[in-house]
Chain A
C-alpha cells in the first residue's frame, strides 16, 4: 500500500461533501478504493437507460454535463465541475441511469465503488442525509424533498462552526437584579408568595438576618410543591424551598454564570459576596436577565420599541433585532416564526412612526385629524416577509371627504405620510427607488381614488398596471383605521370577479422570469446555456414564486392571506391534487428568504445579488433544488391560463 498516493486522493476527497463527513480512517479506506479515469471532450461516461455501474463518481477536474434525451432533442439537466458528485443512482437505487454523462472538457474522474459506500450509508447518518436530500448532481430529476435538504443543511453546518458559542462572543455586561427579595425560613409560604406578588418577581431567597442564603423559592415551587400538592398555606417557607443553593461570585464572567445555569438546569442563580453560601446575598440572575443581556429576546425588543419615541433608540433596537435575526437564521428556526417576529418588530416601528408623526402635526386643524385613515405596507413588508431593511413600499388611504375639504385633507395626509416615511428612513429602512411611499402625493389618496386606481389596473392591464399590481396587491393595513384596508380588499376582489381576464395578464407576468438551470464554477447557468456571474435571487427565484402565489390565491378568490409561503400552504388545501407541489413551493420560498437574509447580513447588503463562487456545494445545491417547484408551477400556470393561445 502506498500512503503517499492514498493520502493524496483522500486530501482531494475530503474537501467535498459527502466525503467531508467521513472520519479519517473511513476516508482513507474510501480513497484507497478509488479508480482514476481520464476522459476527453465528447466522451460519454454513462448513458441514459444503461444499467447502473458499480461505481459513482466525483469530478476531479474538467467539466461534465448531465443530459436527458427527450423525444427529439437532448436537454441539459445539470453541469458538474470540480468536486461534484454524480451518477449516484448506482448507489441509491441500482436503477438504470436516468441521465447521460457527457464530457464537456477533458476530465479526470474518480470512480468510487458502491460496495464500500453502502456500508457507510448505513452507519453515517449525515452521509445518508446528504444523498436523501438530493445534494448530488443530477439527482433533482425527481422532485426533491426540500425539507430534507434544509434539515441536512442544518445538520452539516453545525460541524463547521458551533453557533451555540456565538452568544458568548457578546461582551456586553450582564445585568442582574441587585435588589434581592428575601424572607426568613419561618415566614409562611403565603407571606413569601405575597412578597413575590407585590414586587412582581418570580423568585424569593430564603435567609436569616445575616443574609447568607439558605434556599430559594420560585414560581415553579409554588406551582408544583404547594398548589399541586395542596399543602397548607401556613407551612413555613423553609419546607418547600430548594436547598442548598448554588452560588457564584457576582463578578464571575457571563459565560461562567450562564454555563452554571445551563449545566444545573437553573432558572435562577444566586450571587454572593465571595461566591459561597457562607457570605451575603448580593444579587440574583434569572434566565430572563440572560436573555435580556443577549438582546435575543423578541419580547424585550418589542417592549423596548413600544416604550420609546426616540428615533436613535428605535434605530438601535431595530439593529439589535437584526442581530437576533442572524442568530435565528443560523440556528435554523422555522421561517414562519422568524418572519412573524420580524414583521411584528417592523409593524411596531410603523405604529410608533404614526405616533411620532401625529405628535409633530398636533397644531393642525382638529377636523382634519378626525378623518379616518390607514397606513398600508406594500411589497415584502405587506407580505410579512421583510427580514432585512430593504426598500420601504407604503401608501396611505383616507376616508372620502367633502369636496371643500379635499385639498386640505390631501395636504394634511401627505404631511403625515411624509413624517412617517422619515421615521422609517431614520430607523434604517431604505427609500423606495420607484418612490412608492406615503410621501408621494400620488400614493396618498382618499378611498374613492384608491378604488379607481385598482379598477383601472384591473380593467386596463397595461405593462405598467401589472407592475403596480404586483406591488399594490400585497398591501396590508398596519396603522390607523384598519377597516379601510378591508374595504379596499373587498373592492379588489369584486373587480377581479367582474374581469377575470385580468388574471391571465397576471399569469403572463408570473412566467416572465423562469429560474436558471443551476450553477457552474463561478457562474449562473441559464437554460439557454448562457452564463452570468451573479445570481439575482429576488427577481429570478423569489419574485416568480411570490407572483405565482399571488396569482393563484387571487384566482381562488382568497383575500387576506398575504404571506407567500402561507399562500402556498392555503393553495395546498384548496388543490389537494397539487398538495405536494405547493408544499414544496412554500418550503422553497422559505429557503430563499433565509438564503437572501443570510447573504444580506453577511455582506451588509440587500442580499439580492449572490456570487455563485461564494456558495458552498451544499448551499448551491439547496438553492438549485428550489428552482424545480418554480419551473413546475410555471408550466401548470401556462396551461391553466392558456397562455399559449393568449395574446395581449
Chain B
C-alpha cells in the first residue's frame, strides 16, 4: 500500500487532511455558549498502552449537540492493523471484521466525523496520540481541535481550577469510579463505542455541574 511510506521525511497532505485543517482554521469565539457547541465524545480500543508500538483496534464516537447526546450520530470504526498482510490476526487472536477499514479510510472517516467539533474523551491525551499516529501518514501532525479531558474536567469541577496532586487521588478519577459517582450504569464497558457513550453521559452531567459553577461559554470551558 502506497501510503505506508517510511522513506519520506516530508509527507504530502492528503486531500481529506487539507479539508479537515481548513475547517479548523477559524477558531471558536470564546463567548459562544455551551449550548451552541458541538462535541465529539470518542474512545479508542488499542492493542496496548504504548503509543509507539500499539495501534487502534476500534474507534467509537458520539456527538453532543444542543446539550443532548444524538444517538443517530453514534459511530463505530474498525481500522486494519498497520502491518496487515502479515499474520497479525492470528497473533492477536482477532476475528477479522467484515467492515474492517484500511488505515486511509479510517483516517478519512474519523477526521471528517471530527470536523471542527470540540473533542472529548477520558484520558484524551492517549486517544489523541493514537489518532494522530494513525493520521500521520496522510500529513496530519496534530489534531487542531479544542479538547476536553473528562478526567481533568471532573477534577477541576470537584476540586477547583488550581487543584494539585496532593488534593486528590487520581484513582478516584478513572471512568469506572466517575460513572459510579455520577450514577451512570456501566454497560458495554471496554468496547470503544460503549466507553464513548458512558463518557458522553458523564460529560453531560459534568456540563450541568459546570453551569452551576458559572461556566457558561466556550472560553470558560476550555480555559
Question: Which residues of A are in contact with B by a Cβ distance under 8 Å?
Answer: 1-6, 8-9, 31-40, 61, 106, 108, 111
Residues of B within 8 A of A3 (CB): 76, 193
Interface-facing stretch out of B48-56, B168-176, B197-205 = B197-205
Q: What are 13 A-B contacts defined by CB distance under 8 Å? A: A1-B76, A4-B191, A5-B60, A5-B196, A6-B71, A8-B197, A33-B71, A35-B66, A36-B68, A36-B71, A38-B201, A39-B208, A106-B205
Contacts A38-B204, A38-B205, A61-B183; A4 near B71 (Cβ below 8 A): no
Determine the distance from Cα of A31 to Cα of B197 in the docked complex, in whole angstroms: 14
Residues of B within 8 A of A37 (CB): 67-69, 204
Determine the distance from Cα of A644 to Cα of B42 in the docked complex, in whole angstroms: 64
Determine the distance from Cα of A40 to Cα of B208 in the docked complex, in whole angstroms: 7
Q: Is B18 an interface residue (CB 8 A)?
A: no
Determine the distance from Cα of A321 to Cα of B92 in the docked complex, in whole angstroms: 67
Name the residue of chain A whose CB is nearest to the CB of B188: A4
Cβ-defined partner of A2 (8 Å) among B193, B201, B204 = B193
**Does A1 contact B74, Cβ atoms closer than 8 Å?**
yes
**Does A8 contact B204, Cβ atoms closer than 8 Å?**
no
Q: Is B178 an interface residue (CB 8 A)?
A: no
Determine the distance from Cα of A32 to Cα of B183 in the docked complex, in whole angstroms: 23
**Does A35 contact B188, Cβ atoms closer than 8 Å?**
no
Q: Is B36 an interface residue (CB 8 A)?
A: no
Q: A32-B72, A33-B72, A37-B68 are in contact. List 15 more A-B contacts (CB 8 A).
A: A2-B60, A2-B75, A2-B193, A4-B76, A5-B71, A5-B188, A5-B196, A8-B188, A8-B194, A35-B69, A35-B70, A38-B204, A38-B208, A106-B183, A108-B201
**Does A36 contact B204, Cβ atoms closer than 8 Å?**
yes
Mark interface residues in B84-114 (1 if CB within 8 Å of A CB, else 0).
0000000000000000000000000000000
Residues of B within 8 A of A34 (CB): 71-72
Question: Which chain B residues numbered 57 to 80 have a C-beta less than 8 Å away from chain A?
Answer: 60-62, 66-72, 74-76
Name the residue of chain B whose CB is nearest to the CB of A4: B193
Contacts A5-B194, A8-B194; A36 near B201 (Cβ below 8 A): yes
Question: Which residues of B are in contact with A by a Cβ distance under 8 Å?
Answer: 60-62, 66-72, 74-76, 183, 187-188, 191, 193-194, 196-197, 200-201, 204-205, 207-208, 212
Determine the distance from Cα of A235 to Cα of B207 in the docked complex, in whole angstroms: 93
Cβ-defined partner of A8 (8 Å) among B66, B70, B187 = B187
Determine the distance from Cα of A34 to Cα of B69 in the docked complex, in whole angstroms: 8
**Does A35 contact B191, Cβ atoms closer than 8 Å?**
no
**Does B204 contact A1, Cβ atoms closer than 8 Å?**
no
**Does B76 contact A36, Cβ atoms closer than 8 Å?**
no
**Does B188 contact A2, Cβ atoms closer than 8 Å?**
no
Name the residue of chain A whose CB is nearest to the CB of B187: A8
Determine the distance from Cα of A61 to Cα of B208 in the docked complex, in whole angstroms: 16
Contacts A5-B194, A8-B187, A8-B197; A36 near B72 (Cβ below 8 A): no
Residues of A within 8 A of B66 (CB): 35
Contacts A36-B204, A38-B208, A61-B183; A4 near B197 (Cβ below 8 A): yes
Residues of B within 8 A of A36 (CB): 68-69, 71, 200-201, 204
Determine the distance from Cα of A491 to Cα of B92 in the docked complex, in whole angstroms: 94
Determine the distance from Cα of A1 to Cα of B72 in the docked complex, in whole angstroms: 7
Name the residue of chain A whose CB is nearest to the CB of B197: A5
Q: How far is the CB of B125 from chain A (nearest CB, A)?
A: 23
Determine the distance from Cα of A620 to Cα of B68 in the docked complex, in whole angstroms: 30
Determine the distance from Cα of A36 to Cα of B67 in the docked complex, in whole angstroms: 9
Chain B CB within 10 A, most for which of A4, A6, A35, A37: A4
**Does B68 contact A2, Cβ atoms closer than 8 Å?**
no
Residues of A within 8 A of B200 (CB): 36
Determine the distance from Cα of A130 to Cα of B183 in the docked complex, in whole angstroms: 31
Determine the distance from Cα of A39 to Cα of B212 in the docked complex, in whole angstroms: 12
Name the residue of chain B whose CB is nearest to the CB of A113: B72
Name the residue of chain B whose CB is nearest to the CB of A3: B76
**Does B68 contact A5, Cβ atoms closer than 8 Å?**
no
Residues of A within 8 A of B194 (CB): 4-5, 8
Determine the distance from Cα of A34 to Cα of B61 in the docked complex, in whole angstroms: 15
Residues of A within 8 A of B197 (CB): 2, 4-5, 8
Q: How far is the CB of A35 from chain B (nearest CB, A)?
A: 4
**Does A5 contact B205, Cβ atoms closer than 8 Å?**
no
Determine the distance from Cα of A24 to Cα of B35 in the docked complex, in whole angstroms: 33
Contacts A2-B76, A4-B194, A4-B197; A31 near B71 (Cβ below 8 A): yes
Name the residue of chain A whose CB is nearest to the CB of B58: A4
Name the residue of chain A whose CB is nearest to the CB of B200: A36
- A-B pairs with lowest CB-CB distance, top 6: A2-B74, A36-B69, A4-B193, A5-B74, A35-B68, A2-B76
Determine the distance from Cα of A159 to Cα of B205 in the docked complex, in whole angstroms: 38
Determine the distance from Cα of A1 to Cα of B75 in the docked complex, in whole angstroms: 4
Residues of A within 8 A of B75 (CB): 1-2
Determine the distance from Cα of A111 to Cα of B201 in the docked complex, in whole angstroms: 15
Determine the distance from Cα of A111 to Cα of B72 in the docked complex, in whole angstroms: 12
Contacts A36-B204, A40-B208; A6 near B74 (Cβ below 8 A): yes
Cβ-defined partner of A111 (8 Å) among B68, B193, B196, B212 = B68
Q: How far is the CB of A25 from chain B (nearest CB, A)?
A: 16
Determine the distance from Cα of A516 to Cα of B61 in the docked complex, in whole angstroms: 46
Residues of A within 8 A of B67 (CB): 37-38
Determine the distance from Cα of A596 to Cα of B212 in the docked complex, in whole angstroms: 48
